[in-house]
């Protein structure tokens, strides 16, 4: 039996009464859809080359379509879809890992995949929307730990399933500092899964969001606590990224 990916996601609400996300327009960040006729968002993904994207591993079942430049949703929160020239189909999943489905603390919750050219323009998404670089360096050695997270999480009315951005700082797990796991105090909600954790100072991706919650006892500052896996220390993820990037300009894009 096929289960719609939205049924598998863990709904999280913004902690407290204030949603600190702001509407944004980061072009390399796309909305993942199970179907181009979906009435709600599924996950978030980010371009890292003309045709390669990354997201969360537990979003694997929804990796069919990616939309950019999405319009406002309807007043009842039903999402509206982008124009056909901003819609792209997934070509191939290079690799993914959802071993963290029951234990996010392992950091093993990621996917790397390739996109087909747009059916209208014939262009690859990253050639139109741009893309972000990834960092393989240890982010916990940096002094400046400010990050941003952009995605298509749940929100009220017209903002639901549209792109919003939150900023915060990240930390390692004090009990397991050598694991490729980070906690951050950025505000995210359900369907932000797969959002890239972007270092503000360099505009590079250091990790992928996989979970969120409200817990003052964990290391990040403030009541909002999100978690993600870092690219640093996750050799399987690094290999998948490098494999996908190696296919660019080699005639392997569909």
pLDDT in tens, 197-219: 999 999 999 999 887 655 544 44
Q: Taking a C-beta distance cutoff of 8 angstroms, is the pair 151, 197 a contact?
A: no
The rounded distance, in Å, linking the Cα atoms of 186 and 56 is 17
The residue among 17 and 247 whose pLDDT is bigger is 247
Question: For residue 179, is it within any domain?
Answer: yes
The rounded distance, in Å, linking the Cα atoms of 148 and 146 is 7
Residue pLDDT, tens place only, 119-140:
999 999 999 999 999 999 999 8
Question: For residue 251, is it within any domain?
Answer: no
Question: For residue 17, is it within any domain?
Answer: no
The rounded distance, in Å, linking the Cα atoms of 66 and 71 is 14
Element spanning 2, H or E: none
Domain hosting 149: range is: 24-246
Structural domains counted in the chain: 1
Model confidence, pTM: 0.85
Mean of the pLDDT values across residues 224-242? 84
List of long-range contacts for 130-133, beta carbons under 8 Å, 24+ apart: 130/27, 130/28, 130/47, 131/28, 131/46, 131/47, 131/48, 131/49, 131/50, 131/52, 132/28, 132/46, 132/47, 132/48, 132/196, 132/198, 132/203, 132/204, 132/205, 133/48, 133/203, 133/204, 133/205
Question: For residue 12, is it within any domain?
Answer: no
Nearest Cα neighbor of 245 from 2, 47, 67, 19 is 47
Question: For residue 92, is it within any domain?
Answer: yes
Question: For residue 252, is it within any domain?
Answer: no
Q: Is 178 exposed, middle or buried (0-12, 13-18, 19+ CB in 10 A)?
A: exposed
pLDDT more than 90, % of the chain = 37
For the domain that residue 78 is a member of, what is the CATH number?
2.40.10.10
Question: For residue 14, is it within any domain?
Answer: no
At residue 225, the pLDDT reads: 54
**How far is residue 222 from each of residues 16, 215, 217, measured CA to CA in Å?**
11, 9, 10
**pLDDT class for 230, splitting at 50, 70, 90?**
confident
Phi-psi region of 233 (alpha: psi -120 to 50; beta: other; left: phi over 0): left
Question: For residue 202, is it within any domain?
Answer: yes
Mean of the pLDDT values across residues 153-172? 81
Instruction: Report the SS3 class of residue 191.
Output: coil
């Amino acid at each position: 039996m096929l289960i719609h990916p939205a049924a598998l996601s863990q709904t999280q609400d913004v902690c407290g009464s204030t949603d600190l996300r702001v509407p944004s327009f980061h072009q390399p960040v796309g909305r993942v859809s199970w179907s181009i006729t979906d009435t709600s968002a599924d996950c978030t993904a980010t371009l890292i080359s003309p045709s390669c994207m990354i997201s969360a591993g537990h979003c694997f079942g929804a990796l069919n379509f990616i939309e950019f430049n999405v319009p406002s949703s309807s007043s009842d929160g039903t999402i509206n879809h982008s124009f056909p020239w901003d819609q792209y189909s997934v070509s191939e999943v290079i690799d993914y890992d959802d071993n963290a489905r029951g234990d996010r603390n392992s950091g093993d919750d990621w996917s790397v995949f390739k996109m087909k050219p747009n059916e209208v323009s014939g262009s690859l998404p990253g050639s139109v929307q741009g893309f972000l670089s990834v960092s393989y360096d240890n982010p916990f050695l940096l002094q400046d730990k400010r990050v941003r997270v952009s995605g298509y999480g749940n929100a009220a009315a017209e903002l639901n399933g549209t792109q919003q951005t939150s900023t915060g700082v990240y930390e390692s797990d004090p009990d397991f500092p050598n694991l490729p796991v980070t906690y951050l105090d950025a505000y995210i909600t359900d369907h932000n899964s797969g959002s890239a954790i972007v270092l503000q100072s360099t505009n590079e991706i250091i990790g992928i969001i996989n979970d969120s919650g409200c817990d003052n006892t964990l290391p990040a500052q403030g009541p909002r606590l999100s978690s993600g896996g870092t690219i640093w220390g996750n050799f399987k993820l690094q290999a998948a990224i490098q494999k996908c990037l190696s296919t660019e300009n080699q005639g392997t894009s569909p």
